[in-house]
Each structure stands twice: as C-alpha cells, then as structure tokens.
C-alpha cells in the first residue's frame, strides 16, 4: 500500500492499535528515512499483538474444554 500523505499513515497506525508514543516515534523515523528502525518498531508492535492473540486463544481453548465437559455431563459438584 502506498501512502499519499501523513494522515493516511497516522490512521493506519491508529487502526493497528499503536499508542501515541509509538505513533510519534514512527513518524520521527519516517521523516528521518530510517526504514530499518521503522520496520523494527512495527515488528515489535506486531509481536505484542500476536502474543495477546495467542493468550486469548489459550483462554478460548479453556472455555471450549469447559463447555465440552458440561455438555458431556462430566462436571459435578
């Protein structure tokens, strides 16, 4: 995707869940033409998002197992 203006970049960063500090730093790097650092910053944010996804997947798996146990009438008190 080619960005025609800074506002499009800002909106993409917001949509990706970047906080104000990350957005500010990214824009500084973009203006300085520091592509390697830009990519590193984006990769770090992506990794953090992926960790959260995996944690949520684990929670969903736990709920699925509990639902299965209930449906099989295997839970008693």
- Distance, CA of 34 to CA of 17 (rounded, Å): 22
Taking a C-beta distance cutoff of 8 angstroms, is the pair 39, 26 a contact? no
Specify if 39 maps to a domain. yes
Position 10 pLDDT exceeds 60? yes
Specify if 54 maps to a domain. yes
The token duo for 27 is: 């824009």
Specify if 76 maps to a domain. no
Pick 25 or 3 by higher pLDDT: 25
Q: What is the tally of structural domains in the chain?
A: 1
- Distance, CA of 75 to CA of 77 (rounded, Å): 7
pLDDT level of residue 4 (50, 70, 90 thresholds)? low
Q: What is the mean pLDDT of the chain?
A: 93
Specify if 36 maps to a domain. yes
- Distance, CA of 23 to CA of 6 (rounded, Å): 11
Tens-digit pLDDT profile for residues 26-58: 999 999 999 999 999 999 999 999 999 999 999
| Total-model pTM | 0.80
The domain containing residue 41 runs over which residues? 6-71
- Distance, CA of 26 to CA of 38 (rounded, Å): 6
């Amino acid at each position: 995707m080619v960005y025609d203006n800074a506002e499009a970049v800002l909106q993409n960063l917001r949509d990706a869940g970047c906080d104000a500090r990350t957005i500010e730093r990214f824009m500084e790097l973009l203006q300085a033409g520091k592509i390697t650092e830009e990519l590193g910053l984006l990769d770090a944010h992506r990794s953090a998002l992926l960790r959260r996804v995996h944690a949520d997947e684990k929670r969903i798996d736990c709920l699925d197992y509990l639902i299965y146990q209930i449906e099989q009438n295997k839970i008693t008190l």
